[in-house]
Amino acid sequence: MKKVLFILLAAFAAQVSSAQKKQLKEGFVDFSVAIKTSHLWRGLIISDKPMAAVFIKLKLNKSGSISTGFWGGMAFSNESDGTSYKEINYYLQYADNGFSIGFWNLFNTRGNENPDVWNYNKETTGHILDLRTSYNFGDSFPLSLQANVFLRGSVDGQYTHLNFEQRYSTYVQVAYPLITASKVTVSGFVGAGLSLNGDTHIYGDGTQNFDLVNVGFTFSKTVKFGDHNLPFSVNTLWNPSVKYARVQLIAHLF
């Protein structure tokens, strides 16, 4: 009996070892996790608290050029002074040959007077519908451009003659890698905000229709921990419109 048990255990161990050596095939769904010292976005300080960000992607076709999924974030603090941060976004996107276009539904409960996730009334909803486009010219000229427009959401609303209208706040950015063949890579970016249907936009100080709102650099480095490579990045941010600056550290866990 002992010999039979030993043989079975040995066979099981061999099977487990063989299975571990097999490379799992890539499926239609994947997710990644990052830890951030803060959440900076388009020149805005969404949260000054350390937070975790999760990105879930589901491929809708074989190549993965069409995808959908979720992006979520949550601060590690939950104070009652309004600084707590929780966000869930849904998206549908097409990306191929350096070009991408997508629709994102943004829902951030921080400072939200109507945190009802089912409320889509254009005058009171906490949701924002964001149209995102970008283009990268490729390796020979790795310039990246993006243009993003708020299509719906009370945070972007204005009242004109007692009628509610969207300002269509727009964010445009240009980015370019400055140092590539190095242990630490560096890229620079410049972003501006404008309104397509109003005098101001949400990215600035509320006094101008067009101004610079996001100027900075991204430093990237991969640190080896045993057999695991852990990518880190540091972002610097200056918003000339509202006159603040920040440094953000991100650990891309997987």
Residue 15 belongs to some domain of the structure:
no
Confidence of residue 110 (pLDDT cuts 50, 70, 90): confident
Residue 239's beta-bridge partner residues? 244
229 falls within a domain = yes
* Per-residue DSSP letter, 78: -
Q: Is residue 20 in a domain?
A: no
pLDDT band at 8 (very low <50, low <70, confident <90, very high): very low
Assess if residue 5 is contained within a domain: no
61 in any annotated domain: yes
Q: How far apart are CA 10 and CA 252, in angstroms?
A: 38
Tokens for 128, please give them.
Answer: 């924002």
3-state helix, strand, coil in the chain (%, to 5): 10, 55, 35
Centroid of chain to Cα 122: 24
Query: Is pTM beyond 0.75 here?
Result: yes
Mean predicted confidence (pLDDT) in 230-249 = 97
Cross-strand bridge partners of residue 20: none
Domain range for 146: 29-252
For the cut 60, the answer to whether the pLDDT of residue 26 exceeds it is yes
Confidence class for position 118, pLDDT limits 50, 70, 90: very high
CA–CA distance, 104 with 127 (Å, rounded to integer): 10
pLDDT tens-digit series, residues 42-84: 999 999 999 999 999 999 999 999 999 999 999 987 666 556 7
Q: How far apart are CA 145 and CA 176, in angstroms?
A: 9
Is 119 domain-assigned? yes
The residues, any chain, with a CB within 8 Å of residue 80's CB and separated by 6 or more, are none
Considering the domain boundaries, does residue 8 fall inside one?
A: no
Contact (Cβ atoms closer than 8 angstroms) between residue 94 and residue 66: yes
Residue 229 contacts residue 223 (beta carbons within 8 Å): yes
Give the containing element (helix H, strand E) for 218.
strand 210-225
CATH code of 168's domain:
2.40.160
For residue 202, give the nearest of 84, 87, 108 by alpha carbon: 108
- Is residue 133 one of the residues assigned to a domain? yes
User: In terms of DSSP H, where are the helices of the chain?
Assistant: 2-21
- The two tokens of residue 112 are 């939200």
Burial of 169 (0-12, 13-18, 19+ CB in 10 A): buried
Model confidence pLDDT, tens digit, residues 131-177 = 999 999 999 999 999 999 999 999 999 888 888 999 999 999 999 99
* Count of structural domains, the chain: 1
Q: Are strands 244-252 and 127-136 parallel, antiparallel or unpaired?
A: unpaired
